[in-house]
Amino acid sequence: MADPLPAERGEAEAIKAIPVRHPGRWVAAAIILVLVAQFVHWVVTDSALQWGVVGHYLFNSQIVTGVGNTIKLTIIAMVMGAVLGIGLAVMRLSKNPIVSGVAWVYIWFFRGTPVLVQLIFWFNLPSVLRSVSLGIPFGPSWFRTDPKDLITQLIAVCLGLGLNEAAYMAEIARAGILSVDEGQVEAASALGMTRLQAMRRIVLPQAMRVIIPPTGNETISMLKTTSLAVFVAYNELLGAATNVYSRTYQIIPLLLTASIWYLFMTSILTIGQYYLERHYARGALRELPLTPLQKLRMFGLRNAGGAARL
Amino acid sequence: MSAAGPSGSTPPMVQAQGVHKHFGRLEVLKGIDLEVAPRDVFCLIGPSGSGKSTFLRCINHLEKISAGRLSVDGELVGYRQQGDKLYELRDREVCQKRQEIGMVFQHFNLFPHMTALGNVMAAPIRVKKEAKGVVHERAARLLDRVGLHDKADCYPAQLSGGQQQRVAIARALAMEPKLMLFDEPTSALDPELVGEVLDVMRDLAAEGMTMIVVTHEMGFAREVGDALVFMDEGVVVEAGTPRDVITNPQHERTKGFLSKVL
């Protein structure tokens, strides 16, 4: 128990005043509650939404396969984006003008054209290329293949989404790297670390604190952007829902089914992002913020403790 | 022992001959000549912008010198001489040499994502590839020596400035350097925290560590220093024993500076 307040020690009289009333807040709250109740009533009772159909398809095998493919696409595209992006960010910060110039042009191009255009581009590329070969530049080749075998539907989608994401991740990573104080690299160098060691052990872990929040946004955004794959007939979540409603014409309920899944997955990601941010806040904050579970426990303790002041 | 003259039979730990440094058109060092004897505490004083920090950073090649010769323990800093040709050292060789020179910064520059112990252990494990157990034992001993064994698991943000700077000293010592560079180690500290850092440095000097200290702490320089140099506008204005220079400055600029800081 902390020291008693001055008033409790009898040094001064505690203030007892009538608080200011806020009638406007009550009116606003009442209006909003009525509107929300109306909306909920419509959502629950209107037969057009066909909740029975939504429930029927929620765990339908086609839809669940679509969910799996959406997750697969999101992971592949984000890993590609993050790895390439960090590489591009380091290139952008290079002293070699060719290296930084190439990274600049890459980012300029992939940020400057719509991701849907890139997706359709990769999907159609095999039909215009005659062959793909690997060998000495402008010289003989050791390996030659038909582009149609090389760029499958999945690979086209991954290339489209991943290469585009890399451009955004590069800028996020660059901002993170630049946010780390120069003195950190200096201290690392003075201890004999190479530039690579300093980057990996000292700079990147600190840059993470700046990189993680926007990367979380990017991942959530990517989860939804994968729905563009519908344009190249890839069977992800929206594709699966489209396949079903093109047969049954139950468009609204299937879109609701897909939306429930998207919301569920983005919610999971939001929670994951919270804990990841907390992990990388080590050392930046004196006290880590409480997790919701810890807050709940504290709340329980406080109520159980009755008079204990926290 | 004199600051700039020949230092008798033992070869100098640091030797500078006509060291110049310019950033673009700005000339920061205009020909520095000095010698630091092994086991000496060598103090560098002077107004800000006089080039003393830059000179310190040249010693471990954080800055490249533009002209002159600079050597540590008989070996050129940043270059290798073969015949009459100079070859620039590779990054890896520069890093190798920096391992033998500890540096303590004005703003500590501790790694904020590591605990105090982690800060001390990082370089011996990552750079020298020493076994974790050995390093852990040494790191704990070093933290104990700077009076912080109970703060081993604290992150820098949880420590006071004086405690952070003592961790930074332990971190530099963990590499078992033969030379320690201190760049205004107490300038960013609250006055009441300066003493605890100077105490650690005093102990280090008593154990015979060669130290080059850029400082404004005249008391420390006079008490612990073996040699003192006053720099201004990129040149050595006056050199000698701390007592002589501080109590009996010969040069007008030295007198003017000392009258302001004493």
Cα A233 to Cα A153: distance, rounded to the nearest angstrom: 8
Cα B209 to Cα B121: distance, rounded to the nearest angstrom: 21
> How far does A286 lie from chain B, in Å, by closest CA?
6
The answer to whether the Cβ–Cβ distance between B111 and A187 falls below 8 Å is: yes
Q: Which residues of A touch B127 (CB under 8 A)?
A: 191-193, 197
Mean pLDDT of A101-122: 94
Q: Which pLDDT score, from 0 to 100, does residue A294 have?
A: 80
Q: Which of A187, A192, A194 sits opposite B105 (nearest CB)?
A: A187
Cα A175 to Cα A214: distance, rounded to the nearest angstrom: 11
ipTM, two decimals, is 0.90
Q: Which pLDDT score, from 0 to 100, does residue A136 have?
A: 77
Amino acid at B120: V
Read off the pLDDT of residues B83-117 as tens digits, 9 standing for 90 and up.
889 999 998 999 999 999 999 999 999 999 999 99
The answer to whether the Cβ–Cβ distance between A197 and B127 falls below 8 Å is: yes
Encoded tokens for B261: 């800081």
CA dist A163 → A88, A114, B69, B82, B220 (Å): 11, 12, 50, 49, 59
Beta-bridge mates of residue B210: B179
Cβ-contact A69, A237 below 8 angstroms: yes
Looking at per-residue confidence, does B78 or A136 come out higher? B78
> How far does A186 lie from chain B, in Å, by closest CA?
8
Q: Which pLDDT score, from 0 to 100, does residue B5 have?
A: 46
The answer to whether the Cβ–Cβ distance between B123 and A181 falls below 8 Å is: no
Looking at per-residue confidence, does B81 or A282 come out higher? B81
DSSP state letter for B14: E
Beta-bridge mates of residue A134: A143
Mean pLDDT of A111-135: 85
Is the model's pLDDT at B7 over the cut of 50?
no
Q: Which residues of B touch A205 (CB under 8 A)?
A: 113
Q: Look over chain A and give the mean of its residue pLDDT values, rounded to a whole number.
A: 87
Indicate which of B58, B111, B129, B171 best probes the interface with A, i.e. most A CBs within 10 Å of its own CB: B111
Mean pLDDT of B66-79: 93
Cβ-contact A63, A240 below 8 angstroms: yes
Does the CB of A285 have a partner CB in chain B at under 8 Å?
yes
Cβ-contact B165, B186 below 8 angstroms: yes
Mean pLDDT of A221-240: 92
Mean pLDDT of B235-250: 94
Which segment of A16-25, A273-282, B183-192, B217-226 scores lowest on mean pLDDT? A273-282
The answer to whether the Cβ–Cβ distance between A192 and B158 falls below 8 Å is: no
Confidence of residue A8 (pLDDT cuts 50, 70, 90): low
The answer to whether the Cβ–Cβ distance between B99 and A197 falls below 8 Å is: no
Cα A227 to Cα A194: distance, rounded to the nearest angstrom: 43
Summarize chain A as % helix, strand, coil (round to 5): 75, 5, 25
Q: Which of A171, A174, A172 is nearest to A199 (CA)?
A: A174
Cα B245 to Cα B224: distance, rounded to the nearest angstrom: 14
The answer to whether the Cβ–Cβ distance between B105 and A285 falls below 8 Å is: no
Q: Which pLDDT score, from 0 to 100, does residue A286 have?
A: 64
Mean pLDDT of A283-296: 73
Confidence of residue A72 (pLDDT cuts 50, 70, 90): very high
Give the percent of chain A with pLDDT over 90: 60
Is the model's pLDDT at B233 over the cut of 70?
yes
Cβ-contact B73, B60 below 8 angstroms: no
Q: Which pLDDT score, from 0 to 100, does residue A170 have?
A: 96
Cα B239 to Cα B4: distance, rounded to the nearest angstrom: 7
Inter-chain CB pairs, A–B, below 8 Å:
74
CA A144-A149-A155 angle, 5° bins: 115
Cβ-contact A92, A170 below 8 angstroms: yes
In this structure, the number of other CB atoms found within 10 A of the CB of residue B181 comes to: 28
Confidence of residue A142 (pLDDT cuts 50, 70, 90): confident
The answer to whether the Cβ–Cβ distance between A191 and B110 falls below 8 Å is: no
Confidence of residue A2 (pLDDT cuts 50, 70, 90): low
Q: Which pLDDT score, from 0 to 100, does residue A63 have?
A: 94
Confidence of residue A4 (pLDDT cuts 50, 70, 90): low
Confidence of residue A285 (pLDDT cuts 50, 70, 90): low
Q: Which pLDDT score, from 0 to 100, does residue B4 have?
A: 45
Q: Which residues of B touch A176 (CB under 8 A)?
A: none
Confidence of residue A308 (pLDDT cuts 50, 70, 90): very low
Q: Which pLDDT score, from 0 to 100, does residue A310 have?
A: 40
Q: Which pLDDT score, from 0 to 100, does residue A115 have?
A: 94
Indicate which of A191, A204, A210 best probes the interface with B, i.e. most B CBs within 10 Å of its own CB: A191
Does the CB of A195 have a partner CB in chain B at under 8 Å?
yes
Read off the pTM: 0.78
Cβ-contact A167, A106 below 8 angstroms: yes
Is the model's pLDDT at A48 over the cut of 90?
no
Read off the pLDDT of residues B30-56 as tens digits, 9 standing for 90 and up.
999 999 999 999 999 999 889 999 999
